[in-house]
Chain A
Amino acid sequence: MPSAIEIQAVSKRYGALQALDDVSFRVEAGEFFALLGPNGAGKTTLISAMAGLSRPDSGSIRIMGHDVVRDFRAARMSLGVVPQELVFDPFLSVRETLRFQSGYFGLTRNDDWIDELLFKLGLADKANVNLRALSGGMKRRVMVAQALVHRPPVMVLDEPTAGVDVELRQSLWAFVKELNEAGHTIVLTTHYLEEAETLCNRIAMLKRGKLVALESKDKLLQHGKEREVAFKLAAPLPDSLLPSKVREEDGRIVLKLTDLSQLEGVLATLREADVRVRELNVVEVDLESVFVNMMHGGQG
């Protein structure tokens, strides 16, 4: 069985900007995969290249074994993409939108599946409403339905929860999870680490066009629990705590804890040694530093 997505040495420049820099990885069939990275990291560019919306300068991409350029028809039949930007055709109703989209994929009698999609996405009562008259979140749901009209084995959602309320976010994830359980491969991009954590098996991180990490969720979570705590102490650090010390900055000693629950032990040790704590900060780890740590430490 071919990989759901196979990305091989893909590079793409926009003028002087290297939007993708020699990116390679695979997503296996049935995975729930997250693509993370800060704004401008190249996530959308990579998805566009998968979908044939943009052409990489070098490298190749296969969807379910089909090259997205040479064998574009089969590749596009295998892929459903929910674009990041909210777009719609203001001339059409929800049902017309989905019928036309089915037709572009060569499907004529698709109404049963369209009805099911409308029901699952909570759009059944909006079927005959013009897209213009829908709220932003509703339009987003229509885009999800559009990406699914041809029942693609691989589905890519580019920040589907941006600007979407909590309720829709949860129902959307429940739906996507259901699709994954039914065998669809899911790739999503998000800025919320928790979303990636609760849903995905594996996570890739892009930064300035480079793939900086590719990990299973469990490994990530372990790194995610690590915390750095900065202490301002009235006396030198007791020897027994030296192994946890990672650095000193601005007169603060920074300790690395594998888990925040270790903090209690550290405080007890300090009390016993009669070292008064003047100030204590838990350094919030952002997603990026988790990954960077992982890159430098986790993989050895």
Chain B
Amino acid sequence: MQGFLTLFRKELVRFWKVSFQTVAAPVLTALMYQLIFSHVLSRHAEAYPGVGYTAFLIPGLAMMSMAQNAFANSSSSLIQSKITGNIVFLLLPPLTALEFFAAYMLASIVRGLAVGAGVLVVTAWFGLPLPSHPGWALLFGLLGCGVLGTLGVIAGIWAEKFDQLAAFQNFLIMPLTFLSGVFYSINSLPPFWYAVSHVNPVFFMIDGFRYGFFGQADVSPWLSLGVVGGSFILLSGLALWLIKSGYKLRH
């Protein structure tokens, strides 16, 4: 337990020492998206009855930023430790696979939530209502960051070089987060893209998170919870198994 707490704390210190890059920068990026898209698309039809496009955009942008940063936190920390070699100081102590995994994953959630809170605060004046179901919003925030933090652990363990990690990020994480209904309601999509969105767990994170704010969404929050929760369990199982087996960490 102490081992887990220490590693968790170290992971928090690591991103907090450079919070200008790890928290402030993504908040600024999200603010830009909000400014540009709400300006271009403000005359767009209401996304849901009573919900204007500018307000609709906010939770999606927040969730997308949370997802990307949760992924970045665990994956970049692991790959840096692997490449500099100081991961050996985590492999020598008697940390269990669960302690190791939980520390990286939870630190990713903290970074994701910090970024998400920042995005909501700076974009709220575009007309974000107070969440109608704060419990749902928080649950999807936590689980969404958990899924991406876990994916980051897996990618960080798998990648041997920075460019492999960049490929993972550019060809998997970016498409997943962008093609997720951040900028539109998927009900407005042609059937093919509608179907594609439905196999993307990030879509369900965003949809569930939106439900927490507006009390309405494209699909039922229970369905979203099933998909996001199921992804989290599956990926956590995979990450734990990789760590336990020593995959790419212990030769």
Q: Interface on A for B, CB 8 Å cutoff? A: 14, 48, 51-55, 72-74, 76-77, 79, 81, 83, 85, 87-91, 100-108, 146-147, 150
Structural contact, A101 and B93, CB atoms closer than 8 A: yes
CA distance A90 to B3 in the complex (A): 21
Residues on B with beta carbons closer than 8 Å to the beta carbon of A48: 251
CA distance A293 to B88 in the complex (A): 38
Residues 80-94 of B, flagged 1 when their CB comes within 8 A of A and 0 if not, give 010011101111111
B14 at the interface (CB under 8 A from A): yes
Structural contact, A73 and B6, CB atoms closer than 8 A: no
CB distance from B101 to the nearest CB of A (A): 15
Q: A55 touches which one: B10, B90, B251 (CB < 8 A)?
A: B251
Residues on A with beta carbons closer than 8 Å to the beta carbon of B215: none
Structural contact, B250 and A107, CB atoms closer than 8 A: no
B5 at the interface (CB under 8 A from A): yes
CA distance A52 to B84 in the complex (A): 19
Residue from B1, B14, B85, B88 whose CB has the most chain A CB atoms within 10 Å:
B88
Provide a sorted-by-A list of 5 A–B residue pairs whose CB atoms are within 8 angstroms: A51-B91, A54-B250, A76-B93, A100-B6, A104-B95
Structural contact, A52 and B91, CB atoms closer than 8 A: yes
Residues on A with beta carbons closer than 8 Å to the beta carbon of B86: 87-89
Known: A89-B89, A103-B10, A107-B2; 6 extra A-B contacts, CB below 8 A, are: A53-B88, A73-B94, A87-B85, A102-B6, A105-B3, A105-B93
Residues on A with beta carbons closer than 8 Å to the beta carbon of B94: 72-74, 76-77, 105-106
Known contacts A53-B92, A77-B94, A88-B86, A106 near B2 by CB under 8 Å: yes
Structural contact, B251 and A103, CB atoms closer than 8 A: no
Structural contact, B84 and A90, CB atoms closer than 8 A: yes
CA distance A79 to B1 in the complex (A): 20
Closest to B81 in A: A89
CA distance A146 to B86 in the complex (A): 12
Structural contact, A54 and B251, CB atoms closer than 8 A: yes
Known contacts A52-B250, A53-B251, A103 near B91 by CB under 8 Å: no
CB distance from A284 to the nearest CB of B (A): 36
CA distance A106 to B7 in the complex (A): 11
CA distance A107 to B94 in the complex (A): 12
Residues on A with beta carbons closer than 8 Å to the beta carbon of B81: 89
Residue from B2, B89, B91, B95 whose CB has the most chain A CB atoms within 10 Å:
B89
Residues on B with beta carbons closer than 8 Å to the beta carbon of A150: 93
B246 at the interface (CB under 8 A from A): yes
Q: A85 touches which one: B2, B85, B91, B93 (CB < 8 A)?
A: B85
CA distance A146 to B91 in the complex (A): 13
CB distance from B16 to the nearest CB of A (A): 11
What is the count of residue pairs linking A and B with beta-carbon distances less than 8 angstroms?
77
Structural contact, B5 and A103, CB atoms closer than 8 A: yes
Residues on B with beta carbons closer than 8 Å to the beta carbon of A77: 94
B43 at the interface (CB under 8 A from A): no
Structural contact, B91 and A87, CB atoms closer than 8 A: no
CB distance from A210 to the nearest CB of B (A): 20
B44 at the interface (CB under 8 A from A): no
Structural contact, A104 and B93, CB atoms closer than 8 A: yes
CA distance A52 to B105 in the complex (A): 23
Closest to B5 in A: A103
Closest to A147 in B: B92
CB distance from B248 to the nearest CB of A (A): 12
Residues on B with beta carbons closer than 8 Å to the beta carbon of A54: 250-251
CB distance from B226 to the nearest CB of A (A): 36
Structural contact, B246 and A104, CB atoms closer than 8 A: no
For window 16-44 of chain B, which residues contact chain A by CB distance below 8 Å? Answer: 17
Structural contact, A53 and B250, CB atoms closer than 8 A: yes
CA distance A79 to B88 in the complex (A): 14
CB distance from A53 to the nearest CB of B (A): 6
Closest to B103 in A: A104
Structural contact, B246 and A81, CB atoms closer than 8 A: no
Structural contact, A100 and B10, CB atoms closer than 8 A: yes
Closest to A74 in B: B94
Residues on A with beta carbons closer than 8 Å to the beta carbon of B96: 73
CA distance A228 to B77 in the complex (A): 56
Q: B3 touches which one: A52, A55, A106 (CB < 8 A)?
A: A106
Structural contact, A87 and B88, CB atoms closer than 8 A: yes
For window 148-165 of chain B, which residues contact chain A by CB distance below 8 Å? Answer: none
CB distance from B2 to the nearest CB of A (A): 4
Q: 3 closest pairs, A vs B, by CB?
A: A103-B6, A104-B93, A87-B85
Structural contact, B3 and A146, CB atoms closer than 8 A: no
Closest to B96 in A: A73
CA distance A114 to B115 in the complex (A): 36
Residues on B with beta carbons closer than 8 Å to the beta carbon of A81: 92
CA distance A108 to B10 in the complex (A): 14
Closest to A45 in B: B251
CA distance A72 to B91 in the complex (A): 11
Closest to B90 in A: A104
Closest to B95 in A: A104
CB distance from A11 to the nearest CB of B (A): 14
CA distance A106 to B94 in the complex (A): 9
Residues on B with beta carbons closer than 8 Å to the beta carbon of A88: 84, 86
